[in-house]
Amino acid sequence: MSERLTLRALLRRVEDLEAEKRVRACINRYMALCDDLREGFDLEPLMALFTPDAVWEGRGRYAATFGRLEGAAAIRAMFAKYTVPPAHFRLNAHFLTSEEIAVDGDAATGRWLMLQTSTFASGDSQLSAARLDVRFRRDEGEWRMAHFQTERLFSRKVDQPWDAAADLPVPK
């Protein structure tokens, strides 16, 4: 193999690693913003993570819960429901694991297992897990979500809110 081809191959690998990093940053920013959904939440930073023609959909048991939303306006309308008084969540925390990212030029796919701990405005708390399959596309130089799919694996009500009033015990 010639030196020129080797350098080209190395450059491609570096570009793919940079793309993976940007895809990971996109999904992590999405989760952080979803954790912060509250009354009056500015949806612009969240919507900037989607392509204009994006699809957001629930699969399996989440198909009836969320349905299939096509286009930025439909996705925005869904998220807006979480931000009107009273805000849907008192506490929301998403955790991602089992990451798989594959890059192919200006497209990428990602797959994660997501754990979500939530306390709702009602005071009820829940633990949920879902499989996420997400297609990304480089759009105007930025990696954005083009097709977000979530499939519920399990969901369970918990007896007490996630955030207890007691301070964390520490050794004296």
> What average pLDDT does range 6-15 have in this prediction?
90
Comparing 15-29, 42-56, 107-121, 153-167, the range with the smallest average pLDDT is 153-167
3-state secondary structure of 165: coil
Strand 142-158 to 89-104 pairing: unpaired
Q: Which residue is associated with the tokens 């819960």?
A: 65
Cα(113)–Cα(45) distance, rounded to whole angstroms? 23
What the chain holds in terms of domains, given with CATH numbers, is: 3-158 (3.10.450.50)
pLDDT, tens digit, for every residue of 115-143?
Answer: 999 999 999 999 999 999 999 999 999 99
CA nearest 23: which of 171, 115, 143? 143
In 10 A of CB 52, how many CB atoms?
A: 11
> What average pLDDT does range 44-54 have in this prediction?
98
What band does 169 get if pLDDT is binned at 50, 70 and 90? confident
Residues contacting residue 119 through CB under 8 Å, at least 6 positions apart: 89, 90, 91, 92, 125, 161, 162, 163
How much is the pTM?
0.91
3-state secondary structure of 44: helix
> What average pLDDT does range 55-62 have in this prediction?
96
What band does 4 get if pLDDT is binned at 50, 70 and 90? low
pLDDT, tens digit, for every residue of 64-106?
Answer: 999 999 999 999 999 999 999 998 999 999 999 999 999 999 9
